[in-house]
Amino acid sequence: MGKDFRSSAFALLIDIGAPVGGYYLLRAFGVAPVWALVLSGLPPAARILYTAVRQRRLDGMGLFVLAIVAVSVTTSLWTGDARLLLIRNAWFSTLAGFWLLASLFIGKHPVTYTAARALLPGKGPRFDALWDQRPSFRHVWRVLAVAWGVGGLLHSAISIGIAYSLPIDDVPALDTVLSIVFFVLLQIITQLLLFREGSMRAVLRPEQLTTQ
């Protein structure tokens, strides 16, 4: 558990702390906003590449994030517009939001279900049994796909509004706070809905798995 905690804390430091802290540190030394955003955005990309090299594979999500970073950096350097870099999180939220909503109609399972199943190694058969046996279990994962999909699109809209209406130097910190607030709210919604539905207790304690 200690190793997992250290790993998660390091990931948060690199993915959240480094871009925000790095941006304001570079700005304090007079680096132009575009270059400050580009350079401060490198640590998360470097972490993804390092993880891919260690595991000898790059998953779809990592490739997706790297593609967004590459496109936003290239476009911003080409145009000189720092605000295009400020909305790279919004690009991710928009695409993720549409992906989540589309999964309700494409494929057998919503993304929320497949993501949760992947996060609990060895629990796949229990997930599948619950999916087949309990309509309420299927329903809650579809509701969560809507919640996270709509939440992602709403986050994107607010993020873009902030990026194009406020001074550039105010945006990185505010956008980070916005992302954290949305993530926490959606996590609370997720946990409340799963607790109310109750089937996750059967995933963790298989003796409770019964047909309904």
The predicted structure's pLDDT at residue 45: 77
Rounded Cα–Cα distance for residues 139 and 122 (Å): 23
Rounded Cα–Cα distance for residues 136 and 160 (Å): 36
pLDDT over 70 (residue 191): yes
Q: Is 166 exposed, middle or buried (0-12, 13-18, 19+ CB in 10 A)?
A: middle
Alpha helices in the chain (DSSP H): 2-12, 18-28, 33-40, 42-55, 60-79, 82-86, 88-102, 111-119, 124-133, 135-165, 171-197, 200-204
Q: Confidence band (pLDDT; 50, 70, 90) for 108?
A: confident
Percentage, residues of the chain above pLDDT 70: 82
Domain boundaries along the sequence of the chain: 1-86, 89-212
Tell me the average pLDDT across 120-142: 87
- 199, 134 contact by CB (below 8 A): yes
Q: What tens digit of pLDDT does each residue of 40-74 get?
A: 888 877 777 777 777 676 655 566 666 666 777 77
pLDDT over 90 (residue 16): no
pLDDT over 80 (residue 137): yes
Q: What tens digit of pLDDT does each residue of 81-100 get?
A: 888 888 888 888 898 899 99
- Which has the higher per-residue pLDDT, 30 or 18? 30
For 9, 50, 104, 195, the CA distances from 4, given in Å and listed in that order, are 9, 17, 32, 24
The predicted structure's pLDDT at residue 61: 58
pLDDT over 70 (residue 211): no
- 65, 137 contact by CB (below 8 A): no
- Which has the higher per-residue pLDDT, 53 or 162? 162
Q: List Cβ neighbours of 34 (8 Å cut-off, separation of 6 or more).
A: 76, 77, 80, 81, 82, 85
Closest by CA to 40, choosing from 82, 9, 100, is 82
User: Which range (40-44, 89-93, 144-148, 186-190) has the least confidence?
Assistant: 40-44
pLDDT over 50 (residue 212): no
